[in-house]
């Protein structure tokens, strides 16, 4: 039961251009959505989040957009840098007594110099 899906296993972008990573979810009960970045042999690192009542959140080069009617969110990185090359996981949060994250399968971003 894949509640959080990232349909693109990989993405390659030129340095300086925009990277757009996509994520779809199925459960309307999620209250927050988050993006994590992961390098090999390291734990996931929190990047940015968005509440389910918002449609956009921006932090520096990173912007997350949420389309609740489509159950879709995206992470925009502008401009992309080679150091951004990593696996990006979308995660959705169940609140209340559950309070856990459900992760997508990840998208490997390669930013070419």
Partner 1 sequence: EPEVTQTPSHQVTQMGQEVILRCVPISNHLYFYWYRQILGQKVEFLVSFYNNEISEKSEIFDDQFSVERPDGSNFTLKIRSTKLEDSAMYFCASGTSETGELFFGEGSRLTVL
Smallest separation, CB 26 to partner 1 (Å):
15
Strand pairing class (10-14; 107-112): parallel
Smallest separation, CB 55 to partner 1 (Å):
17
Task: Identify which of residues 17 and 39 has a Cβ nearer to partner 1 in the complex.
Answer: 39
At 54, list the tokens: 């918002």
Of 76, 85, 79, 86, nearest to 23 (Cα)? 76
Exposure pattern of 28-51 as b/e (b: 16+ CB <10 Å)?
Answer: eebebbbbbbbeeeeebeebbbbe
Task: Identify which of residues 6 and 80 has a Cβ nearer to partner 1 in the complex.
Answer: 6
- Looking at residue 78, the DSSP 8-state letter turns out to be S
Smallest separation, CB 113 to partner 1 (Å):
26
Task: Identify which of residues 6 and 63 has a Cβ nearer to partner 1 in the complex.
Answer: 6
Smallest separation, CB 77 to partner 1 (Å):
19
Instruction: Name the site residues for partner 1 (rule: CB under 8 A).
Output: 31-32, 34, 36, 38, 41-46, 49, 51, 89, 91, 93, 95-106
At 22, list the tokens: 């996509």
């Amino acid at each position: 039961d894949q509640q959080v899906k990232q349909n693109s296993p990989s993405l390659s972008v030129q340095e300086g251009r925009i990277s757009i990573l996509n994520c779809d979810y199925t459960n309307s009960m999620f209250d927050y959505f988050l993006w994590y970045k992961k390098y090999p042999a390291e734990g996931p690192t929190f990047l940015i989040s968005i509440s389910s009542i918002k449609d956009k959140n921006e932090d520096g080069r990173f912007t997350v957009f949420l389309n609740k009617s489509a159950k879709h969110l995206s992470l925009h990185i502008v401009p992309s840098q080679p150091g951004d090359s990593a696996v990006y996981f979308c995660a959705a949060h169940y609140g209340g007594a559950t309070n856990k994250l459900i992760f997508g399968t990840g998208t490997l971003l390669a930013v070419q110099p």
